[in-house]
Amino acid sequence: MDLEKKRLLVTGGAGFLGTHVVGALRRRGAGRVDVPRSAQHDLTREGVVEALLDQTRPEIVIHLAAVVGGIGANQENPGKFFYDNLMMGALLMEHARRRGIAKFVAVGTVCAYPKFAPIPFKEENLWDGYPEETNAPYGLAKKMLLVQAQAYRQQYGFNAIYLLPVNLYGPGDNFDPRSSHVIPALIRKCLEAKEAGADRIVVWGTGRATREFLYVEDCAEGIVRATEAYDGPDPVNLGSAHEITIADLVTKIAAITGFTGEIVWDKSKPDGQPRRKLDTSRAERLFGFESHTNFDRGLRATIEWYVASRAQDLAAARAR
């Protein structure tokens, strides 16, 4: 699908991943890219969804909007994470179908995989068990996008695809300690401890759990490539194929940020899913996607962005 002169709607387009996706679309010469803001468009309300689609008249919808957070946020808000994510996806896809929109790109989550899926996670293992309990409501709500996409393709011939990104990181990430994921949370913790002269930081879990991380710009490129070139019913993983323990991750972040104190593990807190590593061969085969950002380089870029962003915020606060 040639994106030039196409009208696109990108929900969540002002967010962390969304800004990079919108940038990639514009570099491709997309004709018009509409980005609804959550403050004006509550996509859990059917009338709002209908009005948005009538107003923007997209030919392609890329659905990135989500209510997300780390383990703590998932544990505090399981009902909200389930309901909001379920309703946004269901309403958007249904009303996109009714309007004959040419393509719907649904972006799911690695949290949809079973807690003990074989490593590396393959798309055919997606239904082999229940997700990790701390984020199961979120993961299952996003997983329903796949069910809906396949059902609509079967009954209505609706062209909806489903992508499964692994954990993301990069410049522009959410560093709010109440809702951030592991990399921004650890970066902030190390920097604040260093600035305060603290001799230790406390990190949740045992450190033995592993994660795979995908640089946000690489993920955006994968989503755009799928939008251009993939039209099938099967889910597709987007990842880097690089797995690291949380203990090694903390060590790397401490070294880059200059924190030299002790790392203390709070084993009363959950590790989350024991391991995460994706098989990414399907994405490479179907639409030529492969991650190219070295993890250490991406981590440094993320930390440098956050340091610069904090300095700007501090300067602005002093100027007021």
Residue 152's H or E segment, with its range, is helix 136-156
Assigned domain for 73 exists: yes
DSSP 28: T
- Global pTM value: 0.94
Do the beta carbons of residue 109 and residue 233 sit within 8 Å?
no
- The span from the first CA to the last CA of the chain, in angstroms, equals 49
Q: Is residue 259 part of a domain?
A: yes
- Is 68 or 205 the better-scoring residue by pLDDT? 205
Within a domain: residue 109? yes
* 158, 188, 289 from 232: Cα distances, Å: 11, 40, 15
| pLDDT at residue 28 greater than cutoff 80 | yes
pLDDT computed for residue 47 by the predictor: 97
Residue 100 resides in a domain: yes
pLDDT of residue 10 exceeding 90: yes
Query: Can you give the pLDDT at residue 204?
Result: 93
Residue 180, in any domain of the structure: yes
Does residue 2 lie within any of the structural domains? no
Q: Is 1 inside any structural domain?
A: no
pLDDT band per the 50, 70, 90 thresholds, residue 70? confident
Whether residue 165 contacts residue 107, with contact meaning beta carbons closer than 8 Å, is answered with yes
Tell me, yes or no, if 113 is annotated catalytic: no
| Structure-token pair, residue 271 | 């590790």
Give the pLDDT confidence score for residue 5 in this predicted structure.
87
- Domain interval for residue 184: 7-314
Of 113, 130, 138, 152, which residue is the catalytic one?
138
Segment 2-27 mean pLDDT: 95
Q: 271-306 burial string, b = 16+ CB within 10 Å, else e? A: bbbebbbbbbebbeebbebebebebeebbebbbebb
What per-residue confidence (pLDDT) applies to 179? 82
Structural domain count of the chain: 1
Q: Name residues whose C-beta falls within 8 Å of residue 283's C-beta, 6 or more positions apart in sequence.
A: 222, 226, 236, 237, 238, 289, 290
pLDDT of res. 56: 97
The CATH number for 241's domain is: 3.40.50.720
207 in any annotated domain: yes
Contact by Cβ (8 Å): 105, 61? yes
Q: For position 96, what pLDDT does the model report? A: 98
265 band by pLDDT with thresholds 50, 70 and 90: very high
User: How confident is the prediction for the chain on average, in pLDDT?
Assistant: 95
